[in-house]
Structure 1
Amino acid sequence: MAVIDDIKAMLGLTEDTTQLSTIVTLTESRLKALLGVDVVPQELEYIEVEIAVRRYNRIGSEGATSHSVEGESWSFKDNDFADFADDIQAWRDKQANESKGRIRFL
């Protein structure tokens, strides 16, 4: 299932929206920059989905770090990717270990 389809399923949406497409594009771009890749690896697409859902749910509350009304309160992190820092680092470590090779001259 494509990332956009996973996000729509989690949000209960049936159609793409411009907002959703923009959120997915920006989230994907940021994740690619953090990973140093041109394409988000399939095993890390869940990060893209989770963060896009969070960002979609915050529409209208951008920039707020906390919100409280009649006993209900919300607080938002400054860095959406902070919860996934360990996963991102583990992936990067794995890539570094896999890319090490040997060259032998005969």
Structure 2
Amino acid sequence: MAVIDDVKALLGIEDEDDKLNIIITLTENRLKALLGQKEVPSELEYIVTEVSIARFNRIGSEGLSGHTVEGESLTFKDNDFDSYADDIQAWRDAQSDQDIGRIRFL
């Protein structure tokens, strides 16, 4: 199942393909930049799914860092990838472990 299908299923939406595709593309591009990779590794695709859902749920509230109404309080993170920093670092560490013993010519 593709990331967009996972996101649509979890959000219970059908006719939001354009918005979701933009959100997923931006999320993938940001994760690729964080990883220094040209593609998102399959073992980290769940990050794209979860961050895409969080970003979709914040549509219309992008500039807010917090919001309180009648006792209900919402707070948004500055960086959607903070929750996954340990996972990203573990993936990087595993990649560097695989590079031991190889010679790279640049």
TM over 0.5: yes
The CA deviation at 1:101 is 2.2
5+ unaligned residues in a row in structure 1: which ranges? none
The CA deviation at 1:72 is 1.1
Separation (CA, whole Å) in 2 of partners of 1:54 and 1:97: 32
- Is the CA contact (8 Å cut-off) linking 1:7 and 1:53 kept in structure 2? yes
Separation (CA, whole Å) in 2 of partners of 1:54 and 1:81: 11
Runs of 4+ aligned residues of structure 1 deviating over 4 Å after TM superposition are none
Separation (CA, whole Å) in 2 of partners of 1:20 and 1:61: 16
1:44-83: per-residue Cα shift (whole Å, max 9, x none)?
0000000000000000000100001111110001010000
2:45 corresponds to:
45
- Is the CA contact (8 Å cut-off) linking 1:8 and 1:15 kept in structure 2? no
Question: What is the correspondence of 1:1-106 to structure 2 with a 5 Å cutoff?
Answer: 1-102=1-102
Counterpart of 1:19 in structure 2: which amino acid? K
Separation (CA, whole Å) in 2 of partners of 1:101 and 1:8: 43
The CA deviation at 1:17 is 2.4
Separation (CA, whole Å) in 1 of partners of 2:27 and 2:102: 36
Separation (CA, whole Å) in 2 of partners of 1:68 and 1:14: 30
5+ unaligned residues in a row in structure 2: which ranges? none
User: Does the C-alpha gap of structure 1 residues 102 and 78 become closer, same or farther in structure 2, counting only changes over 3 Å?
Assistant: closer
Counterpart of 1:29 in structure 2: which amino acid? N
Separation (CA, whole Å) in 1 of partners of 2:102 and 2:40: 27
Give the greater-gyration-radius structure (CA). 1
The CA deviation at 1:102 is 4.5
Please report the RMSD computed on the Cα atoms of aligned residues, expressed in angstroms.
1.2
Separation (CA, whole Å) in 1 of partners of 2:72 and 2:5: 31
User: Does the C-alpha gap of structure 1 residues 43 and 23 become closer, same or farther in structure 2, counting only changes over 3 Å?
Assistant: same
User: Does the C-alpha gap of structure 1 residues 15 and 99 become closer, same or farther in structure 2, counting only changes over 3 Å?
Assistant: farther
> What percentage of residue pairs aligned between the two structures are identical?
62
